[in-house]
Amino acid sequence: MEEIMAKNIGRAKFVKKARQERAWSQSQLATIADVNLRTIQRLEKDGAASFETLMGVAQAFKIDVKELNLASGVSDKKVKVTQQGKVHLLPRLVSGKSLTDVVVGSEQFQFEHDEDHDPRSIAAMKDILKLLQGDVVRLYDSAPIERLNVEAELSQELKGLEDYGYYLFGIKRIIPRILGKEKIEITMCTLFMSHSRSPKIIRDKKLNMYIPAILTELAR
């Protein structure tokens, strides 16, 4: 039976404040910490939680789990936020067309991936990212009629990625960037590679796949 840590109102207030500082909903925190929503609701109500839950929440906040166990009396202290971010659900890119839709028009690119300690998997991910980057360059240099050819090749690469056991997710956003005292808006493309067996992958009723990712709301 899973052991539940004793109630701790200080811990409950700490978690709630840390979540609100990041502008996350309870559902978003539950997704990132890989626990269910009721667990987060209970944790914020009276501080009761299993050690496994506290570990997940601590990882979500990027803090040591000891800070949650020693959280009594910290309700009035400012919770340190490493970097403001927001949880986005990135859809799975299943074709070259869906990939080019998030790439074309983007001014900056981010490439993220799940942690993986298998050297073969890491090498495969690097090789695929190099291919994708090369095709992105080709896409910008291609005439409109050649875009179909590039998209067809990208579809094959996505199929090869799936054969390796990985999915590619992506999103395009317009976010601000600070240049000196001036604030401008840029278009950011974020691509996220995840193992197909990742428990974080969300499937809707139509079997579309999404993966939650914490993305900064300010471009560098």
Residue type, position 164, single letter: Y
Average pLDDT along the chain: 80
CB-CB contact of 112 with 187 (8 Å): no
CA distance 43 to 35: 11
Tokens of 133: 């980057």
Asked if the model's pLDDT at residue 127 lies above 80, the reply is no
Residue type, position 101, single letter: D
CA distance 58 to 38: 17
List 111's β-bridge partners, or say none. 191
The topology (CATH level 3) of 4-69 is 434 Repressor (Amino-terminal Domain) (1.10.260)
Q: What ranges do the domains of the chain cover?
A: 4-69, 85-216
Q: In this predicted structure, what is the pLDDT of residue 2?
A: 42
Instruction: Encode pLDDT of 36-81 as tens digits.
Output: 899 999 999 988 888 888 888 888 887 878 788 766 544 444 444 4
Instruction: Encode pLDDT of 17-38 as tens digits.
Output: 888 887 788 888 888 888 889 9
CA distance 121 to 113: 11
CA distance 80 to 124: 37
Q: Global pTM?
A: 0.62
